């Protein structure tokens, strides 16, 4: 299961310039809606906030993986965003989040949804990769790093 099967260069945000979880989710929802036909940012945001109400998707170590399911989707969508300054995300360790993978899946794609979540989690457990993502120059370099990691494992 490759993340880059669902992540495109247009869905990589090199610098997320927000300070709160709500602002981050709003901006990410707008980015997905701009790139994926048939989706509206309000619907995406509602799904993400519904999931966050169950507990923060800030998993610690500067990482968050907001996710949800949408009936309007035909295929999985992944977005990656970086915040150099960090976003207050109510993460389990109380620290700001710098790396965000957003995952949206169709209602009937539970297996795929879980496999991609697991793949993202495994990828981000590598501190060397996280350091490279934090140091990358731009969206193209970020996408290339994720693609390299995808192809090497």
SS (H, E, C) 39-90: CCHHHHHHHHHHHHHHCCCEEECCEECCEEEECCCCCCEEEEEEEEEEEECC
Residues of the chain falling short of pLDDT 50 = none
CATH numbers and ranges of domains, the chain? 3-152 (3.40.930.10)
Contacts of 31 (CB under 8 A, 6+ apart): 11, 13, 79, 81
Note if 113 is an active site residue: no
Of 21, 67, 98, 113, the active-site residue reads 67
Q: What is the distance of C-alpha 53 from the center of its chain?
A: 17
pLDDT number for residue 89: 94
pLDDT number for residue 66: 96
Residue with the two structure tokens 């192809």: 151
Residues paired with residue 77 on neighbouring β-strands, in sequence order = 104
Residues paired with residue 104 on neighbouring β-strands, in sequence order = 68, 77
């Amino acid at each position: 299961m490759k993340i880059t099967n669902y992540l495109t260069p247009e869905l990589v945000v090199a610098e997320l310039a927000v300070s709160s979880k709500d602002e981050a989710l709003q901006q990410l929802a707008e980015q997905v809606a701009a790139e994926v036909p048939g989706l509206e940012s309000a619907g995406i945001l509602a799904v993400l906030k519904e999931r966050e109400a169950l507990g923060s998707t800030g998993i610690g170590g500067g990482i968050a993986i907001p996710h949800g399911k949408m009936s309007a989707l035909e295929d999985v969508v992944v977005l990656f965003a970086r915040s150099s300054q960090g976003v207050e995300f109510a993460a389990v360790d109380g620290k700001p989040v710098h790396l965000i993978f957003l995952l949206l899946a169709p209602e009937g794609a539970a297996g795929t949804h879980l496999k991609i979540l697991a793949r993202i989690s495994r990828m981000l457990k590598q501190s060397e990769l996280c350091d490279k993502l934090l140091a990358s120059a731009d969206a193209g370099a970020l996408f290339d790093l994720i693609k390299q990691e995808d192809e090497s494992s």
